[in-house]
Amino acid sequence: MQYTQLGRTGAKVSRLCLGTMNFGPQTSEEDSYVVMDKALDLGINFWDTADVYGWKKGEGVTEQILGRYFAQGGNRREKVVLATKVYGDMGLGDMSDWPNTNRLSKVHMRRALDGSLKRMQTDYIDLYQFHHVFRDSPWEEIWEFCEYAVNSGKVLYVGSSNFAGWHIAQANESAKSRNFLGLVCEQSLYNLNARTVELEVIPACKHYGLGLIPWSPLGGGFLGGLLDKPTEGRRAGMGDAIEKNRAKLEAWEGFCKEHGEKPADVALAWLLHNPVVTAPIIGPRTLEQLDGSLRALEIKLDAEALKKLDEIFPPVGKGGPAPEAYAW
């Protein structure tokens, strides 16, 4: 396994991040344990979840699975740089529409953090991430809570997800004024077919020393060898996506065949070539999917290959950061 720093921190994390969103809804608890054991065997120490995963309001199904896994001992928890997220509506017992059960108020975050700790049977969370920006909470309030969480030993680092570039700047300038470390990473939608973050988010991450953690690195399966999959193996709606993008998909999958590599591996390798990227999130449902992802660490894309990929999946505008991507 290859490792890198988590943004500008001293913590080392694997170049692939184990996404756990499927644990519970798609992958049984027993099979989830098998996947997690294998991830540790492979040296994947960076794991990502969220309090809302499992999609049963207020239950934190996936976090509970992780907690029962860690409780088995064997230094399982200690081996993992554990990341979870706060923002979604966790409810309040049978009062489904009660206020202050979501977003980024101190009222909700205090309750949400303690809930995540309890469900995952751990004393601390390595990386606590804002699942989305919340414009109604001032950064003074958010950082005041985070300072409490860090000073109490419940949280080590703080990150963001689905932020715009100016949100990152706003957050970290506010943190700097409080002598607080601020955001150390940003989790964004980023893949060959979704490159908007190259305009503002990636430049902001580079400037402030944030590691970028791409979610949906395969575009929900779009980049995973869609044309070769049997119809019954495709996700709902993929048939329409194929017809709308057949020429692009044929060029993409043809490129991968020419290089003797699987499309999913090339898609991950393309992300890993970007020095701002810390680790794409892989969400394996099976051991085979987990094992297959490792090949991406060995694939090297030269300048000619990168140029060809830009032709197949053009960047926004002229490419690169704003404003040069669309102006002089």
Cβ proximity of 182 and 176 under 8 Å: yes
Segment holding 186, helix H or strand E: strand 183-189
- The candidate with the shortest Cα–Cα distance to 188, out of 264, 248, 271, 112, is 271
Cβ proximity of 140 and 99 under 8 Å: no
Segment holding 76, helix H or strand E: helix 76-79
Catalytic residue status for 53: yes
- Report the 10 Å Cβ neighbour count for 209: 17
Which residue in 3, 33, 53, 87 is the catalytic one? 53
Cβ proximity of 271 and 190 under 8 Å: yes
Please state, in angstroms and rounded to a whole number, the distance separating the CA atoms of residues 185 and 129: 9
The DSSP letter of residue 315 is P
Q: Are strands 183-189 and 211-215 parallel, antiparallel or unpaired?
A: parallel
Q: Are strands 125-130 and 81-86 parallel, antiparallel or unpaired?
A: parallel
Q: Is 270 helix (H, G, I), strand (E, B) or coil?
A: helix
CA contacts within 13 A on the Cβ side of 91: 11
Please state, in angstroms and rounded to a whole number, the distance separating the CA atoms of residues 192 and 153: 38
Cα 31 to Cα 65, 68, 70, 76: the distances in Å are: 11, 13, 15, 16
Q: Which residues carry out catalysis? A: 53
